[in-house]
Structure formats: C-alpha cells, structure tokens
A and B are shown apart, each in its own frame.
Chain A
Amino acid sequence: DGGITQSPKYLFRKEGQNVTLSCEQNLNHDAMYWYRQDPGQGLRLIYYSQIVNDFQKGDIAEGYSVSREKKESFPLTVTSAQKNPTAFYLCASTREGYEQFFGPGTRLTVL
C-alpha cells in the first residue's frame, strides 16, 4: 500500500542533543512538508520542499533543519537551538493541487 511512514512513533531526547525524525513516502509525490502540532495551536509549518534538492523555510523554521536528497525522503533534524522542541511532528506530501496526505506522526519529548 502507498503511504507515508514516520519513525519512530515516540522519541525522547536529552536537552542539548540533536535528533532526526524520519519521513518516507512511496506515493511518488513531488512536494513534502513538516508541521509541528502543539495542544490548542493547530498545525504550524516548519519546512517544505517542492522538488528534490530544494526546500524552503516555513513559519517556524528556527532551530530546525531538513534535507531532500531523494524524492521519497524528507528527514527533519531538531537541533539544540530549538528552545521548546517537545511536540507532535507531522510529515505530509502532495503531488499536484493542494490536497495533502499525512503520516502518523512522531511525538518528541525532551527530558
């Protein structure tokens, strides 16, 4: 079945450590996105990529980094510069138009 996978489902990190969240899709979608979800805040855009080897900052990119070396993969690194990284992270993709398909999410907790 085609879809988007995110791993791990739960992730724990100590303060000061960088951590990378995985996002893989086999839908042959060109564009991929990372959102952050906090309680009562809806989804906020971190980064997005419309094609391989290109990406743009979203509304809250500070403290995060991404890469897009393959069409299928769009990993997100949460760096130690991110002041409040505990959140639910959602990856999405789209091929044409505007409809987006979402992965199951990764819950990151900083200890």
Chain B
Amino acid sequence: GNSVTQMEGPVTLSEEAFLTINCTYTATGYPSLFWYVQYPGEGLQLLLKATKADDKGSNKGFEATYRKETTSFHLEKGSVQVSDSAVYFCALSRNQARTALIFGKGTTLSVSS
C-alpha cells in the first residue's frame, strides 16, 4: 500500500540556515503530494502541494519538487526564521478522491536566533 517516510527529527538550526527535510514515498498510481505544518497546540495547515511529476510546490519561501524517479518530495527553504519552528508533515493522497491522506510521522524543526 501507499506509505510515506520522513526524516526523523528534531532538526535544530540557527536563523538564516538552509533547511532540508527529506520525504520519500511508496505509491501505486499517481498520488498528489503535500507538506503540512503544525504549530504548537494547533491543527495542521497546508504549506504546499504538487499534483504531478516534476511539479514544484512553493509557499512562504518553502519549496518541494515532486520527483517520480526518486519517489521523493523533499522540503527546502533557503533561510529559516525562528517563526518557522513547528512540526512538518509530508503526506500523499490515496488512490481515490475524497479519501484520507497518508501522513509521515512528522519532523520537528527548532530554529534559534
């Protein structure tokens, strides 16, 4: 079945450092891929998405490219801020619309000034 594997955290960075959070997936068909972010005590917010191979999703300085050949969707940001400290989840769609997403276990990012 479909599954998502994320790098384990926590990831600890200084402000303005470069961020990469690795995400690989296993899927049949052509899933859509997502990154969600969760701030402490809150629900999840969609950060970015990509619906087909080679698509690049981007938002708030974060980027991720849907790589079918390596089954990856790594999250990157060129210069992190303290306000980026949160838990990041990679997710993919199941094979039918309106069915639930499959989530990775989440990666905690902590940015210090």
Contact = CB atoms under 8 A, between A and B. Distances in A.
Interface of A: 4, 6, 30-31, 33, 35, 40-43, 45, 48, 50, 58, 90, 92, 94, 96-105
Which are the 3 A-B pairs with shortest beta-carbon distances? A102-B43, A98-B93, A31-B98
A39 to B, nearest CB: 9
B66 interface: no
Nearest to B99: A48
Contacts of B36: 102
Contact of B97 (A45, A98, A102, A104): A98
A46 to B, nearest CB: 9
Interface of B: 32, 34, 36, 41-46, 49, 51, 89, 93, 97-101, 103-106
Contacts, number: 57
Given A48-B99, A90-B43, A99 B34 contact: yes
Contacts of A96: 97-98
A106 to B, nearest CB: 10
Contacts of A90: 43-44
B1 to A, nearest CB: 10
Contact of A58 (B41, B51, B89, B100): B100
B98 A104 contact: no
B32 A40 contact: no
Contacts of B106: 40, 42
Contacts of B104: 42
B44 A102 contact: yes
A40 B9 CA distance: 10
Contact of B45 (A30, A58, A98, A102): A102
Nearest to B93: A98
